[in-house]
Chain A
Amino acid sequence: MLDALGEPQSVLVLGGTSEIALATIKEMPRHRLRRVLLAGRPSESLDAAVAQLKALNIAGVEPIEFDAKNTDTHGAIIDAAFDASDIDVVILAFGVLGDQMTAEEDPSHAVEIATVNYTGSVSAGLHVARRLKNQGHGTLVVLSSVAGDRARRSNFVYGSTKAGLDAFAQGLDASLEKTGAHVLIVRPGFVRTRMTSHLPEAPMTTNPEDVAKIIVTALKKGKSTVYAPGPLRFVMAGLKTLPKPLFRKLPS
């Protein structure tokens, strides 16, 4: 249960190795956390994520086996996590960037990106929403992206999956009105992570820790959409309305 100051006791991360999700957990008051579940495919990096949080004396850190593409298994995995005790915050953090050029040449790569980022999220998101609604409280944090705000030549396959996810999350939030459950949509810009380490940095680049601070503040304030960094909201509002010829001339 959240306490009176909005500090969570239990968190489930779907995509347990996500640097933004791990930074978010580190940003939460550690003394309050009782249970932190990191869901992902069994791997060294998942074990390392568990070890990293345990080393900070965070209580109840456990890995659970979860594969975004195996949507048939989502229901049972999410039910098991909620059956043990209420979950205050679920972070839907899995996703792949993929490679745009490969995807264009080999559509099966595009399908892979879409399956993980969109299909997997829709499946897991609906199962989580069902349980949050049942317990009458809790927030699903959805890591969207500014890439979904307007499709760009350089990464439109990834961008379109995030656009779909974002629209899904907005509707899911509406469906949860008056149930006590909420959705927080987070739209980061370029974040320095493993996923982006091979790419040139964009303007307004942030670190996972910066995004984490924005998420934790937004959770306390009960917001439903945040950009990271915050001013990106205005940049994206401008970009979305920019005439096509101008938009396409922007450096990608």
Chain B
Amino acid sequence: MSEAVATQLSGWGRTTPTVAQLVEANSPSQIANLITQSSSRGVLARGLGRSYGDAAQSGGATVVDMTTMTDFSLNPENMSVTADAGASIDNILREIVPRGFFVPVSAGTRIITVGGAIAADVHGKNHHRDGSFGAHVTEMVIINGRGEQLTLTPENPQFWATIGGMGLTGIITSATFTVIPIQSSYISVDTERLKDLESIMSSMLERDHEYRYTVAWIDSVSPSGRGVITRGDHATIAQCDSEGIKNPESYDPKKIASAPGLVPPVLLNKLSVRAFNEGWYRKHPRSRTGELQRIGAFFHPLDGVHDWNRIYGPRGFLQYQFQVPDSASDLIGVVLNKLREIGAPSFLTVLKRFGPGNQAPLSFPQSGWTLAADLPAGISELGRTLDQLDELISAVGGRLYLAKDSRQSPANFARTYPRLDEWRGIRDTMDPNHVFASDLSRRLEI
């Protein structure tokens, strides 16, 4: 049995580290023992640490590093993958893409675990038609707060409480999810560059349904809210052949660069962000169709840069991601304006349409729009401004994504997740003593 080691843990935003007892997972029975013998600080599973805020850390608790249990297997006949919770989407893709399959939902990074994808109920560029990751899970094995192993399927309320449940219903040890067939490791991408936010949003409303994948990048510095929409579908063999691509099924994404450990904060300021946004906007043609991009370039462009989160310096950064219904689509512009007003420089501002949500009580996506912006934590007035934006968003029935959140108030969380009490009821059947705890659950009084 591996030893617990006092370890400082933080989220991807590197903002508020705490120290926990980190233990490597090695078997379901070991995990069950850790749960039944836990201290009053509790237990939490941690995957690859890509949630931005405090979801995968728990001060003083036993944190189980799941990335040591990584087995998985593809079942091509019924088009599914059964994986240990600690298996990474990265490794799964390396195995299944050359064999003609792809994950049903891919987040903006493939450096996440299956357990994390379920716990955060991650979404991707196909949410408008395929929903979030949890909708494609057919079975999972979880160890509850009493140390009992449960096998859950979509018929169980506990299954849905675990999807989007941020690891607070138990520790998932393995899961089965469906995969989709693909002909190549390329995406056929159509690009549309538009001069203002209004044109971007109306184009997305009109044409998103024509594609499996779509997303818009917004120039957060430009007052017009100009940006670039990229849309794509898995490329067929015929498309690859006509472009002269050899080995269209090959897939081997590599790291292309590493962010320097210490970036002087002066490099990340309004000027550099303005220059980046200008360049990124100009880089894209006004309109282009049928460009073949590799899966890595289309879905996970930042995974090519190792530790890119370090560019924000010692204070770290946060990602503000919210959702609003179509009836409040004007809030997208309001938020962009407000962030520009306080001079919050964001390289990465992403707009996406959501399709209907699923039945998980704490799942984030709901029909409408979602916007995500990366913001350095050191900006003055940021806290107050984001609180004001939280108010506007909650007033129209919108909410924040827990996998990104690192600062909303408990009241805002409770108001915007109206099924919280229902979820708590199910959680209490799985974990009556609230053994599972994270810094997020303490901060939001979940």
Contacts and interface: CB of A to CB of B under 8 A. Distances in A.
The answer to whether A and B belong to the same complex is yes
B8 A3 contact: no
A29 B59 contact: no
Given A136-B60, A180-B8, A86 B407 contact: no
B384 interface: yes
Contact of A136 (B15, B19, B53, B409): B19
A136 B6 CA distance: 9
A7 B15 CA distance: 11
| Interface size of A as a range | 20 to 34
Contact of B41 (A7, A29, A136): A136
Interface string A118-141: 000000000000000011110000
B62 to A, nearest CB: 11
B409 A4 contact: no
B406 interface: yes
B294 to A, nearest CB: 33
Interface residues of B, number: 30
Interface string B389-427: 000000000000000001101100000000000000000
Contacts of A1: 16, 54, 59, 439, 442-443
Given A136-B41, A178-B8, A5 B383 contact: yes
Contacts of A5: 15, 318, 377, 382-383, 407
B77 to A, nearest CB: 46
A225 B61 CA distance: 29
Interface in B42-59: 53-54, 58-59
B387 interface: yes
Most chain B CB within a 10 A radius of its CB, from A2, A4, A85, A179 = A4
A194 interface: no
B59 A9 contact: no
B20 interface: yes
Nearest to B382: A5
Given A29-B384, A31-B387, A32-B409, A136 B443 contact: no
Given A1-B443, A2-B16, A34 B8 contact: no
B15 A4 contact: yes
A134 B41 contact: yes
A42 interface: no
B355 interface: no
Nearest to A85: B442
A136 B383 contact: no
B17 A180 contact: yes
Given A86-B59, A135-B41, A179-B6, A3 B19 contact: no
Interface of B: 6, 8, 13, 15-20, 41, 53-54, 58-61, 316, 318, 377, 382-384, 387, 406-407, 409-410, 439, 442-443
Q: 6 nearest interchain CB pairs?
A: A180-B19, A136-B59, A4-B406, A1-B443, A136-B60, A4-B15
26 contacts: A1-B59, A1-B443, A3-B16, A3-B406, A4-B15, A4-B53, A4-B316, A4-B407, A5-B15, A5-B377, A5-B382, A6-B16, A7-B383, A29-B383, A86-B59, A136-B20, A136-B59, A136-B60, A137-B16, A137-B17, A137-B19, A178-B19, A179-B6, A180-B8, A180-B59, A180-B60
Interface of A: 1-7, 9, 29, 31-32, 34, 85-86, 134-137, 178-181
